[in-house]
Amino acid sequence: MSFDAQAHIGPFYASSEWKEAKEGELFKRKKGLEKAIRTFLKRAYGIPEKQHSEDVEKGVGLLAQALRKRWAEKSVRTKQRKKARAERDRKRKRQERKRKILRLAKRFHKKHLEQRERELRPSFFQEDLPVQHRPVNPNKPPRKVA
């Protein structure tokens, strides 16, 4: 009997054995996954549960290996995707930090230039003179400004 593990992966994922193994997290243990696969294959080929079959055992090994290989490949792709995303985030944060530092530097440079301008060209008016206010007549209504 030639066993095609790839052809059995889809039906196994659709089976009730996989749902039970997934709910109980049996797939995380090697024997748990193999037990679920064994039950699936025996049910698929109509072999009684108690009967031992070499073909089913070979199929269990091949299907378990194929599933674990798929999971490993998917894990590698996920890690690569996460790594690329983290690198993009690091670059973006680095650029944001650069922009923020430049913005702060420009602002402080502008303040420095304004301070220097004030030192070089003092104001005509004295800084310590009181501000003059126009007296307000309480009998007169306030002016309407358009």
pLDDT digits (tens, 9 = 90+) for 63-122: 999 998 999 999 999 999 999 999 999 999 999 999 999 999 999 999 999 888 888 887
Residue 1 pLDDT greater than 70, yes or no: no
Domain ranges of the chain: 5-119
Residue 3 pLDDT greater than 80, yes or no: no
Residue 25 pLDDT greater than 60, yes or no: yes
Contact 8, 63 (CB under 8 A): yes
Q: How remote is the C-alpha of 82 from its chain's centroid?
A: 7
pLDDT reported for residue 88: 96
17's tokens: 């054995």
pLDDT reported for residue 2: 64
Element (H, E) at 104: helix 54-120
- Helix 30-45 vs helix 54-120: angle between axes, to the nearest 10 degrees? 130
pLDDT reported for residue 54: 85
pLDDT reported for residue 79: 96
pLDDT reported for residue 22: 81
Tell me the C-alpha distance between 21 and 27, whole Å.
6
Most trustworthy range by pLDDT among 56-60, 127-131, 135-139: 56-60
pLDDT reported for residue 30: 73
Contact 41, 8 (CB under 8 A): yes
**pTM for this model (two decimals):** 0.57
Q: Output DSSP code: residue 15.
A: S
SS3 42: helix
Q: What is the mean pLDDT of the chain?
A: 86
Q: What whole-number percentage of the chain has pLDDT above 70?
A: 95
